[in-house]
Structure 1
Amino acid sequence: MSIIPNFDGDAVLDPRLLRAFVAIADSGSFTAAADRLHMTQSTMSQQIARLEEAIGRDLVDRAARPVRLTVTGERLLGHARRILALQSEALTLLAETSGTTSVRIGMPDDIATPEMARAFATFTRRHKEVRLDVTTGLRSDLTRRYRAGELDIVVLKEDTPSADAWASFAEPITWFSAEDAAGDLPDPVPLVTFPPGGLYRDAMFERLERERRRWYVAFTSASLRNVLMAVEAGLGLSLLPVDATRGWRLKSLPDFGPEPPVVASLYSWERNGIVGELAGEALDILKRHFDRQRG
């Protein structure tokens, strides 16, 4: 340390020795300092001697009554207090378990509802050690990440659930246009879609090809909200979950008729412990969500 002459740069300021030094500075006595730290006077003397040896200068004037610090000791004292305070803060921080256990969740935009967010908040208040890392995105990316072990819990919109799905729920989907769109479909048909990997994108292309309609992609976004806004603004048609369109100025297209429903499936690597508990709560919310749709 540059403020202490002849200090050995390789020496380590042991917090135990600094604590003994600060105790002597505060009490003015080896005996009182030893009592404060619950050690013998000889041990206290040895610790101060070790600190002085590491620094290469006397820190305490032992002949004075009460004991006084030397000039070097006075220079060290403020730094010693800060070092001990930082150590105490670090130990307190490391002992705190809040947010130390990560649970990683993936789901589509329309499943990340306010009700789901409130359930997450309640869960983390009950389990302060848990930090939730929530990702919303497209089916292809969420599926890949879950299968790679990067997500602990995932909700997937898919055509057919896999065998390891915890539960699955049918979700009606249909074609929508802007509420004030003309009755006749344009030719070619402008489409508002999710990027490649989005569940409804390929189904839209296949339906139009089957009906021998010309089409083009007019707008693409990975955000469900952006897709809904684009359809409402009249940028094109889209195949969407019926429930997701509530509150938007859209209308269904009877020309296309019904589409087979998709399924929303919940997957979890664990059925027990913290992950299993959270997956169970998410499952309860999904049940209520799809029950309301059927109602």
Structure 2
Amino acid sequence: MSALQDIDVRLLRAFVAVADTGRMTTAARVVNLSQGAVSQQIKRLETLFDCLLFRRDADLMRLTREGERLMVRAQRLIALNDEIVGEMRAAEFSGAVRLGVPHDLVAMLMPPILRVFRQAHPNVLVTLVSDTSKSLAAQLLDGEIDLTLLTESKLGARDHRLLTDRLVWVGAKGGDALSRRPLPVALGNETCAFRASAVQALTKAGIEWRAICQVGSLEPVFATLEADMAIAAFLSRTVPERLEVIDDGILPKLSQHLISLRTSPSGMSPVAQELARHIREGFDRRYT
């Protein structure tokens, strides 16, 4: 029976970086190594598993079948490694922190990150404040919340970029609202971060439209879309399964937006700093 061998997590990080980017040079920047070092790490993994993990297709690196098998397990092992290191190094925090999160990000992106934080720091009370990005930015300045996520078209001076995502048109599965004229569009209220992008794209394309369901919360919007009464603009990563993305080319393309983390200009408590770290690392692991 052959002796068991340990897997160096650094090799897996290089492997995932190459798989995600498709290029050695880009992956090297992600893991902060030289291109040659990344290439050697991939070769070490292939030697360890006695198989090819990538196909070289022109200047792109594509996963082989064996590479696809490894990908999910590699991500799982890296996440477990980081979780253990984080928990063992973490100080014992207690207290309360007020976190702002835009309506569309609360349900789709935050639960797994907040769960990890709760498990690591059970004595910290996190109060979620959900509102539009514009309103949350104002509440942060007024000291009503300690830190907040924002969806914006450009990065602010105190923002930490978490994710770049594009807006997409969304409607009911199999619906025909997209073919009606004037086009019925569910818009957020005047402070909605996506409202201007949607209006600008439709106006530029010369499409006649009318506003339906101008509210700040998402549940009425979801109900309107599921009833095939209108379409709406969402970040591609926040589209719920009960709705579908409208194919490109049918309606005008929408702009990209940034998801950022903004902290209080007056400073943060240690508890808020720890939550901010969990959010940044959670987005890096799960969504970027």
- Does the TM-score normalized on the shorter chain lie above 0.5? yes
Q: Deviations over 1:211-259 (max 9, x none)?
A: 2222111213323343233212201011111122241232314322432
Aligned to 1:290: 287
- 1:104-123 to structure 2, matched below 5 A, reads 104-112=98-106, 113-123=110-120
Q: CA RMSD in A?
A: 2.4
In structure 1, distance between residues paired with 2:189 and 2:116? 30
Change (3 A) 1:265 1:194: same
2:236 to 237, 242, 256: 242
Residue 215 of structure 1 corresponds to 209
Q: Percent identity?
A: 18
- TM-score by structure 1 length? 0.58
- Indicate the residue corresponding to 2:263 in structure 1: 268
- Residue 194 (str. 1) matches residue 181 (str. 2): no
Partner of 1:231: 225
Counterpart of 2:97 in structure 1 is: 103
Using the TM superposition, name which of 109-118 and 139-148 deviates more.
Answer: 109-118
CA contact (8 A) 1:156 1:266 kept: yes
Quote how far apart the aligned CAs of 1:264 are.
0.2
5+ residue gaps, structure 2:
1-92
For 1:1-295, list aligned pairs within 5 A. 101-112=95-106, 113-125=110-122, 128=123, 130-182=124-176, 185-253=179-247, 254-269=249-264, 270=267, 273-291=270-288
Tell me how far 1:189 sits from its aligned partner: 1.0
How many pairs were matched up? 190
Classify the secondary structure of the residue corresponding to 1:115: helix
Equivalents in 2 of 1:192, 1:135: separation in Å?
Answer: 23
Distance 2:182 2:121 in 1: 50
CA distance in 1 between counterparts of 2:217 and 2:174 reads: 23
Give the drift of 1:100.
Answer: 8.0
Q: In structure 1, the residue corresponding to 2:175 is in which secondary structure?
A: coil
Q: Larger relative CO (CA 8 A, sep 6+): 1 or 2?
A: 2
How high is the TM-score relative to the length of structure 2? Answer: 0.60
Give yes or no for contact 1:161–1:168 (8 Å, CA) kept in 2.
no
SS in 2 for 1:119: helix
C-alpha deviation, 1:145, in angstroms: 0.7
Larger Rg: 1
